[in-house]
Structure 1
Amino acid sequence: MAESRPRTVDLAGETIEYEVRHSSRATRSRLSVDTSGVTVVVPEGASVRPAALLRDHAEWVVEHARKAAARRERLPERRFEPGATFPFLGEPHEVVVERRSYSVVGDETLRLASHHVADTSVKRALETLYRRRARDRFERLADEYAAAMGVDYDRIEVRNQRTKWGSCSTSGTISLNWRLQLAPPEIGEYVVVHEVAHRRELNHSPAFWDLVGEHDPAYERHRAWLADNGLQLIFSEEDL
């Protein structure tokens, strides 16, 4: 998908910055407005006037651009350097870089192996640590709840989905977002319960929610927490 430099257009009295992306997979032109900005996606080779398309949907674009701007203000500031603070299971932890064999989570610290940081970066070393701890925890929880529900699953995949916290395929692969390790422990546990429950009910029927509620009586509160606070689990701009 080819990208263009940012452009501007006046819509409903506001100057909106936007980008045009040409896509070989797109079958028609479409507009996208999210925390990363306003984008006009155009099929490869199509003759489209992006500014005209934006003006045709001016009110919609401006309304969603304002909402996206408000969401951006809520994004956490991340500094990928020693002394910075990152949440781990909902609690602030300070980043420490030191000589050690491998990175670990300590008491209120994320202790990174200096050789890993030198070979990659603080950011990459942090993500590796989060992912490793996520896999250990997700597999343990999935085994526990699968046994309690009388179901099985094929495997756990630790991923970084932009718009999903978890998913369950018909083949039994459960995918879970490693950024749940930034959230309070009950939030990630709710997502595991949710996805394991899909091994019995591959839908969102009343029977499915009854099963989730049986193993997480506070699931409605946990689901609401994710809806209200999901932006706080953004690790870097690449997640947007």
Structure 2
Amino acid sequence: MFSYQAGNITIDYTVEAVPNIQEITVNVCPNGGVKLVVPRGLNQSNLHFIIAKKAKWILEQLGETPTEAKEETAERQNEEIHNVTQAAFVPSFQDGDKIPYLGRQYRLNIVKEDKTEAELTFRAKFLATVPASWNEQQTNEGLQALLTDWYITRAEDKFQECLKSLAKQMDGVPGQIEWEDLQNEASRVKADGTIVLNWRLLTAPMSTIELVLAREIAKQTGAAELFEDAAERQQWLEDNTLVVF
């Protein structure tokens, strides 16, 4: 359960993270419950911002009227947005979920065994083995950590593979790049010129990853568009978000 303080009224709300959707829905139930239905991958700050933007509408649906507050500075308003019950947002995983990797969807199988540590393997599907003693929250938190580590571990190999391929086709290709969690932003360049890719790009086909990287290199070297099928490679980014789970 999450909470947002609107004036003198507290809005309590729950969150349902659903795979393979892009739109966000705010539901106000007759019994006064507020529920967000969101794509997997949104962080807690995203959720707070959504509720803050919709607070007036939510209160109208609930028939509530908060006391008018005095004018507040932008800093104070920002503080209000984050004035919530401390609770980490963790996606929900179900056996049979589809997990995206390099442009394809792979099934996630969850198995509970009498063991103390969780582990994850990948061979044509994701197989997660978790302790039978874990409750739902522990299982979701454990799977989130396992999958995140799995993607980040593979980011080095796959992004380096793209670098080697581009080095044969264009000049000015750096020897190394970095990767971070950039949410839904595909890439970024640091002040020192270092190219940073979103590790979540591993959800995209290799051809699309190459396009993103080649364009960042071209910005620095002034090279022309490298790929004749650039529009096709770009289309994946237009049709999809970089939501992993």
Q: Per the shorter chain, which TM-score range?
A: 0.5 to 0.7
1:185 corresponds to which of 187, 201, 206 = 206
Matched residue SS, 2:244: coil
Point out the structure with the larger helix share.
1
Give the structure-1-normalised TM-score: 0.55
CA distance in 2, matches of 1:188, 1:35: 30
Are 2:100 and 1:87 equivalent residues in the alignment?
yes
Can you give the 5+ residue segments of structure 2 that lack an aligned partner in the other structure?
10-25, 29-45, 55-71, 78-90, 132-137
Match of 1:226 in 2: 237
- CA distance 1:163–1:96, change in 2 (3 Å): closer
CA distance in 2, matches of 1:155, 1:113: 34
Are 2:74 and 1:43 equivalent residues in the alignment?
yes
> Do the aligned residues in 2 keep the contact of 1:89 with 1:181 (CA within 8 Å)?
yes
- CA distance 1:140–1:185, change in 2 (3 Å): closer
Superposed CA RMSD in Å reads 4.2
- CA distance 1:45–1:172, change in 2 (3 Å): closer
Matched residue SS, 1:121: helix
Can you give the 5+ residue segments of structure 1 that lack an aligned partner in the other structure?
9-14, 18-31, 47-77, 202-207
- CA distance 1:149–1:217, change in 2 (3 Å): same
Matched residue SS, 1:198: helix
1:103-157 CA distances to partner (integer Å, 9 max, x unpaired)? 44312x0234658x97x61111011111211221011212331353221426322
> Do the aligned residues in 1 keep the contact of 2:155 with 2:179 (CA within 8 Å)?
yes
- CA distance 1:234–1:37, change in 2 (3 Å): farther
1:85-110 CA distances to partner (integer Å, 9 max, x unpaired)? 21211222112356999644312x02
1:124 corresponds to which of 122, 145, 161 = 145
1:204-231 CA distances to partner (integer Å, 9 max, x unpaired)? xxxx4x2x3x2x211123223312322x
Q: Tell me the percent identity.
A: 21
CA distance in 2, matches of 1:228, 1:38: 28
Match of 1:133 in 2: 154
> Do the aligned residues in 2 keep the contact of 1:154 with 1:172 (CA within 8 Å)?
no
CA distance in 2, matches of 1:6, 1:221: 46
Are 2:122 and 1:105 equivalent residues in the alignment?
yes
- CA distance 1:228–1:93, change in 2 (3 Å): closer
Aligned positions, number: 169
1:186-209 CA distances to partner (integer Å, 9 max, x unpaired)? 2222212222323313xxxxxx4x
Letter in 1 for 2:204: A
> Do the aligned residues in 2 keep the contact of 1:85 with 1:93 (CA within 8 Å)?
yes
> Do the aligned residues in 2 keep the contact of 1:160 with 1:177 (CA within 8 Å)?
yes
Match of 2:5 in 1: 5
CA distance in 1, matches of 2:51, 2:207: 32
> Do the aligned residues in 1 keep the contact of 2:100 with 2:244 (CA within 8 Å)?
no
Give the structure-2-normalised TM-score: 0.54
Matched residue SS, 2:185: coil
Letter in 2 for 1:129: W
Matched residue SS, 1:44: helix
CA distance in 2, matches of 1:90, 1:172: 28
Letter in 1 for 2:162: L
> Do the aligned residues in 2 keep the contact of 1:102 with 1:112 (CA within 8 Å)?
yes
> Do the aligned residues in 1 keep the contact of 2:96 with 2:109 (CA within 8 Å)?
yes
Letter in 2 for 1:235: V
